[in-house]
């Protein structure tokens, strides 16, 4: 229970095509993250799956049933909104009970389910409070609790952590991952934060301009991005792109090197530059190196790196870590990750 199949799904608002024909198979029990810059259509697609937006063409199947024109409540999905969308005048208890009351569940069973959900989410002490008296993280948990009690076939999360502060976000990230492991239910999670995507997802779908650029596990996307967009979007700090002069017979137009794959060398390396801003994070150091004719490269070094502002340093990178892109920004697989994975470029 909980597989969702999108077949040639599109969405347009007037003349604007927000989602271009798109196919996606979401497997039962999987945690899939839709990631992409704002305005790329990821939230719209989520709302289409939820039934809050009409589908312009194509079909959405939930558990092999055509759900394209089903009203939201019948799809058996639960959604956690960015603003939490709690009912402000109801207590936490009534908020969580609301979907059950609408489904005419017996009061005794409702009470039982509330207790269970509250225990799971550490909300037992807050059941009689109003949402206005709760902190951001607690409201988030109430929203999740309201979703859990319905026992949906899939959970939809629409940027649920974007209103929380940084440390709380890390905690909630873990809690949601934990929840996924214990419930073993399909989860679709929309975010613009690639760190959230990388840490939580079984699979990631990278969106850009209404299309899916690549779907894969976090490591696949990191190691074998199919194009420059995915390569730049996944990984933090982002990959350095270095344009090179095209040679006859060589399609390479630019190289990609991740900051963590540079080596600072004593002798002459591939690039030579002057160190600009240095960011010390303790465990690691980020150097912004100005290289003539290339631009500024971000380099990740050790935490105790002794380089100072204005130093001239040499940079090298292992050949197998360098990515090669052609003039359209598409990865050249033979050069980027050897001949043995040509199929991954598809």
Partner 1 sequence: MATTQSRTLAKIMLFPSVSLLLAWMIVPLCMTLYFSVLDYNLLMPGDNEFIGFLNYEFFLTDPAFIESFFNTLLLVGGVLFITICGGIGLAVLLDQAIWGRNYVRIMVLAPFFVMPTVSALVWKNMFMNPVNGLFAHFAEFIGVTPIDFFAQLPLLSIIIIVSWQWLPFAALILLTAIQSLDREQLEAADLDGAGPWSKFVYIVLPHLSRAVTAVILIETIFLLSIFAEILVTTSGGPGYSSTNITYLIYTQSLLQFDVGGGSAGGIVAVVIANIVAIFLMRLIGKNLEG
Task: Look up tokens 């894969």; give the residue.
Answer: 216
Closest to partner 1 by CB, 58 or 99: 99
Count, residues near partner 1 per rule CB under 8 A: 25
Whether a cis peptide bond, with omega within 30° of 0, leads into 237 is: yes
Figure out which of the listed residues 1, 23, 87, 302 binds partner 1, where binding follows CB under 8 A: 87
Residue 316 binds partner 1 (CB under 8 A): no
Kindly write out the interface string for residues 124-153 of this chain, putting x where it contacts partner 1 by CB under 8 A and - elsewhere.
Answer: --------x-------------x---x---
Q: Positive or negative, the Cα torsion across 150, 153, 158, 163?
A: positive
Closest to partner 1 by CB, 83 or 243: 83
Least distance to partner 1, CB of residue 181, Å? 24
Closest to partner 1 by CB, 88 or 310: 88
Is the Cβ–Cβ distance between 208 and 37 less than 8 Å? yes
Kindly write out the interface string for residues 10-49 of this chain, putting x where it contacts partner 1 by CB under 8 A and - elsewhere.
Answer: ----------------------------------------
Closest to partner 1 by CB, 99 or 251: 99
Helix (H, G, I), strand (E, B) or coil at 317: strand
Residue 88 belongs to what H/E stretch? none
Query: Segment contacting partner 1 (CB under 8 A): 65-73, 117-125, 209-217, 280-288?
Result: 65-73
Least distance to partner 1, CB of residue 142, Å? 11
Residue 105 binds partner 1 (CB under 8 A): no
Using alpha carbons only, give the angle 211, 217, 221 rounded to the nearest 5 degrees.
Answer: 65
Figure out which of the listed residues 22, 26, 79, 226 binds partner 1, where binding follows CB under 8 A: 79
Query: Can you tell me the distance from the alpha carbon of 298 to that of 290, in angstroms, rounded to the nearest whole number?
Result: 9
Closest to partner 1 by CB, 88 or 293: 88
Is the Cβ–Cβ distance between 88 and 130 less than 8 Å? yes
Query: Can you tell me the distance from the alpha carbon of 201 to that of 189, in angstroms, rounded to the nearest whole number?
Result: 8
Query: Can you tell me the distance from the alpha carbon of 10 to that of 335, in angstroms, rounded to the nearest whole number?
Result: 35
Least distance to partner 1, CB of residue 186, Å? 16
Figure out which of the listed residues 90, 168, 278, 332 binds partner 1, where binding follows CB under 8 A: 90
Residue 169 binds partner 1 (CB under 8 A): no
Give the residue among 24, 32, 64 at the shortest CA–CA distance from 180. 32
Taking CA atoms, 145 is separated from 84, 120, 257, in Å, by 11, 9, 43
Query: Segment contacting partner 1 (CB under 8 A): 32-40, 94-102, 111-119, 303-311?
Result: 94-102
Query: Segment contacting partner 1 (CB under 8 A): 78-86, 188-196, 313-321, 333-341?
Result: 78-86
Kind of pairing between the strands at 31-35 and 203-208:
parallel
DSSP 90: S
């Amino acid at each position: 229970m909980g597989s969702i199949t999108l077949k040639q799904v599109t969405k347009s608002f007037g003349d604007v095509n927000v989602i271009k024909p798109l196919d996606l198979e979401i497997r039962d029990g999987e945690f899939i993250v839709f990631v992409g810059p704002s305005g790329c259509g990821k939230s719209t697609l989520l709302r289409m799956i939820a039934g809050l937006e009409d589908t312009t063409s194509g079909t959405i199947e939930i558990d092999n049933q055509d759900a394209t024109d089903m009203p939201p409540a019948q799809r058996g999905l639960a959604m956690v909104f960015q603003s939490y969308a709690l009912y402000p005048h109801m207590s936490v208890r009534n908020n969580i009970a609301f979907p059950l009351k609408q489904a005419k569940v017996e009061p005794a069973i409702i009470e039982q389910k509330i207790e269970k959900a509250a225990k799971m989410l550490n909300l037992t002490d807050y059941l009689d409070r109003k949402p206005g008296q709760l902190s951001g993280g607690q409201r988030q948990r109430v929203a999740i609790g309201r979703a859990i009690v319905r026992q949906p076939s899939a959970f939809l999360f629409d940027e649920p952590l974007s209103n929380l502060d940084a440390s709380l976000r890390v905690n909630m990230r873990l809690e949601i991952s934990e929840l996924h492991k214990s419930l073993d239910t399909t989860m679709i999670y929309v975010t613009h934060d690639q760190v959230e995507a990388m840490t939580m997802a079984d699979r990631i779908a990278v969106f850009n301009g209404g299309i899916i650029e690549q779907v894969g596990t976090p490591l696949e996307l990191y190691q074998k991005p199919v194009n420059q967009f995915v390569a730049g979007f996944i990984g933090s700090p982002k990959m350095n792109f270095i344009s090179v002069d095209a040679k006859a017979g060589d399609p390479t137009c630019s190289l990609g090197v991740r900051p963590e794959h540079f080596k600072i060398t004593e002798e002459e390396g591939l690039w030579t530059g002057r160190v600009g801003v240095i960011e010390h994070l303790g465990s690691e150091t980020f150097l912004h190196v100005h290289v003539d004719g290339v631009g500024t490269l971000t380099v990740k070094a050790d935490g105790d790196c002794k380089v100072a502002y204005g130093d001239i340093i040499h940079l090298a990178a292992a050949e197998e870590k360098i990515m090669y892109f052609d003039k359209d920004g598409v990865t050249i697989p033979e050069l980027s990750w050897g001949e043995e994975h040509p199929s991954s470029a598809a």
